[in-house]
Amino acid sequence: MFPPYKILCALLKRLGFSGRSAVIAIPYLWLLAFFLAPFLIVLKISFAEVQVAMPPYTPLVTFIEDGWIAFHATIGNYLFLLEDSLYINSYLSSLKIAAVSTLLTLAIGYPIAYGMVRAPRRWRFALLMLVILPFWTSFLIRVYAWIGILKKEGLLNLALMNLGVINEPLTILNTDTAVYIGIVYSYLPFMVLPLYANLEKLDLSLLEAAADLGCRPIKAFWVVTVPLSLSGIIAGCFLVFIPAVGEFVIPDLLGGSETLMIGKTLWSEFFNNRDWPLSSAVAVLLLLVLVIPIVLFQRMQERNARAEA
């Protein structure tokens, strides 16, 4: 048995790729196989119509007599999404929850990353391991653990009542607050790690120069540290915001019936209503909502870099 990478290398050589071109071709083939191809399948289903069959959607292309080909595509699924307030509200609610969660994650993650960088070097590896440690546990188990913490008889209410902070248990579970807590906790490492990597390269002599010029530490932080760590902030916000928009597990387990997110709506259309064409249209629009702003932002960054050069 040959290892998969040897089979892939042999295939690339057969196709005429070698050396540097083979190294470049491997990630493109990976994206082609595991991103572009599934997306094209979902895109194709989004233009079909639902039917009671297997698969539960009509074919886009059918062969008729005399070698003619008939196309059966419709944009009715996309028009329905734009007309139905349920899906519009789902998109808007998902964007709002993801944006607020990203800001909360940034507000918590930045001090953590900054403290890790300014800690003694012998402690940094241990602190970094504490950030990575949650990844060693199942994501589902970690979200389930918050149910035991946030419910009325949970650890949080028990601790607050024993401390005399509250007299009656708080209703946190099955609310948007529980969703925010779950998202911030689950995606906090995705914010801390890029910030830590960026802040670790910060030249401390710049802060010393600012102090010599009479700049106070707080002002030096906002004028020097934050602008130099902007790339880490942007990377962390993208890593949190993008998966949070389509999150399904956290709002399903921690959120209530009134918690409206596009991930729950998508799951309901696929598995409860078995309307694959409509749910595929939901997924395609969600991808466009996320990808187009990122592409525009990258082009703006490239233009600014060229202008500065």
DSSP per residue over 113-151, as a string? HHHHHHS-HHHHHHHHHHHHGGGGS-HHHHHHHHHHHHS
Q: Which residue ranges of the chain lie beneath pLDDT 50? A: 1
SS3 call for 258: coil
Stated length of the chain: 309
28 class by beta-carbon count within 10 Å (0-12 exposed, 13-18 middle, 19+ buried): exposed
- Give the H/E segment covering residue 62: strand 61-63
pLDDT of the residue at 10: 67
pLDDT of the residue at 21: 67
Q: How far is CA 29 from CA 10, 15, 304, in A?
A: 14, 12, 31
pLDDT of the residue at 9: 64
What spatial distance separates the first Cα and last Cα of the chain, rounded to whole Å?
52
Paired tokens of 16: 């005429």
pLDDT of the residue at 15: 63
pLDDT of the residue at 190: 94
pLDDT of the residue at 111: 94
Q: How far apart are CA 309 and CA 307, in angstroms?
A: 5
Q: What is the pTM of this model?
A: 0.84
What 241-246 contacts at long range (C-beta under 8 Å, 24+ apart), as own/partner pairs, is 241/98, 241/99, 241/101, 241/102, 242/290, 242/294, 243/187, 244/97, 244/98, 244/101, 244/102, 244/183, 244/187, 245/94, 245/95, 245/98, 245/286, 245/289, 245/290, 246/94, 246/286, 246/290
**Position 248, amino acid:** F
- Residue that is written with structure tokens 């800001």 in the block: 103
pLDDT of the residue at 217: 84
